[in-house]
Amino acid sequence: MQVQDKKVKRISVMNLDTSQSADNGTTSSSSTSSSRGLPNGGSSEKSYNCANNDLPFPPGGYASLRLPVVTGQELNPVARCRRVYAHAHDYHINSISNNSDGETFISADDLRINLWNLEINSQSFNIVDVKPANMEDLTEVITCAEFHPTHCNTLAYSSSKGAIRLIDLRQSALCDNHSKLFEEHEAPGSKSFFTEIIASVSDIKFARDGRHILSRDYMTLKLWDLNMDSGPVATFQVHEHLRPKLCDLYENDSIFDKFECCLSGDGHRLATGSYSNLFRVFGCTSGNTEATTLEASRNPMRRQVANPTRPTRTLTSLTRAVRRGGENAGADGNGNSNDFSTKLLHLAWHPTENSIACAAGNSLYMYYA
């Protein structure tokens, strides 16, 4: 009688005695023969239910028996180059920014800003070009560029003269003219050999709400309101204590260091790096005079000091810059001498969480408050 399905319904007792297995070579196949000879689930003397636990099992097991083994399925992400956008810049690229439309991005070098489509790597559009006909007439270069976080037609770029220009891509294909200019002029008679060097903007960041721009020059952090181009709404002192050492900083090229800046996702705090692997965090909301110095190390509170409080001023009532921070000449905020060989140039704030990442030397530190 043919078997109607392929399910195993019973097993036979195997003869484990090798001396007897030679005499009874058909024992191992008794399950098949008995199952075919017994219709409707009949029973046999040598067959029993598989739930029975009396089946003998040798101590060493069966060499031919292979049990499934659980293996780890941990994934190791690997970065792969998908596209190369080449042959569009003659100088080193200093910044890249993605557009909020999710389709384009910009790349900027010292003289040009190019607009790319993410899906096309063979062609770009030059939207800003500050290269003069005669290179001897060059007076300023582009230092940073960034798209507006929500308006895909708006971007800002900074220059080595301390200016921030806001441009609208809808005006023309080549944005030679800016829609707004943010610049703070020095008081007459206060200019020196280092004035233009320390005024160069090394980094700019839009606030998440798109209302403010944070800029970083060598000495300060400045917060700008897009609706007020007469001057920054607040200025935060970072390296004022180094002003007496500008000559030494110029000799060892430290004055040309490019420090980045960042804002928290809620826009309540700002941060930037400094020397000796220090970074400073400032509060920028109304009535907040927070100015904290931390060290990028396993113990970030090791060099923390409380800065003297300043009179509170609201951002909406500011008619001039509010200056905050330590002003001890020749030392950092803790009174310690600066180590110019160790510097914290790169840092970033998480867009939604209150965590910050700092790159100091060959180490990456992440802090959560």
**pLDDT 10s per residue in the chain (369 long)?**
465 566 666 655 555 554 444 444 444 444 444 444 444 444 444 444 545 556 676 777 777 777 777 777 777 888 899 899 998 999 999 999 999 999 999 999 999 999 999 999 999 999 999 999 999 999 999 999 999 999 999 999 999 999 999 999 998 888 888 999 999 887 777 788 899 999 999 999 999 999 999 999 999 999 999 999 889 999 999 999 999 999 999 999 999 999 999 999 988 999 999 999 999 999 987 767 778 888 888 776 655 444 433 333 333 333 233 333 433 334 554 455 678 889 999 999 999 998 999 998 888 999 886
Instruction: Give the separation between CA 228 and CA 29, rounded to whole angstroms.
Output: 93
Please give the distance of CA 224 from its chain centroid, rounded to a whole number.
23
Instruction: Give the separation between CA 21 and CA 44, rounded to whole angstroms.
Output: 20
Nearest Cα residue to 212 out of 228, 199, 235 = 228
Instruction: Give the separation between CA 211 and CA 252, rounded to whole angstroms.
Output: 38
pLDDT (0 to 100) of residue 232 = 93
Instruction: Give the separation between CA 155 and CA 135, rounded to whole angstroms.
Output: 26
First to last CA, the chain: 76
Instruction: Give the separation between CA 14 and CA 76, rounded to whole angstroms.
Output: 47
pLDDT (0 to 100) of residue 289 = 75
Characterise 248 by phi-psi region: left (phi > 0), alpha (psi -120 to 50), beta (else). Answer: alpha
CB-based contact 332:241 (threshold 8 Å): yes
Quote the DSSP letter at residue 337: P
Instruction: Give the separation between CA 206 and CA 262, rounded to whole angstroms.
Output: 9
CB-based contact 259:202 (threshold 8 Å): yes
pLDDT (0 to 100) of residue 214 = 96
Q: Is 222 helix (H, G, I), strand (E, B) or coil?
A: strand
Burial zone of 81 (CB within 10 Å; 0-12 exposed, 13-18 middle, 19+ buried):
exposed
CB-based contact 361:328 (threshold 8 Å): no
pTM: predicted TM-score of the whole model, two decimal places: 0.70
pLDDT (0 to 100) of residue 71 = 75
Residues 6+ apart with CB under 8 A from 355: 349, 366, 367, 368, 369
Instruction: Give the separation between CA 268 and CA 262, rounded to whole angstroms.
Output: 11
pLDDT (0 to 100) of residue 75 = 79
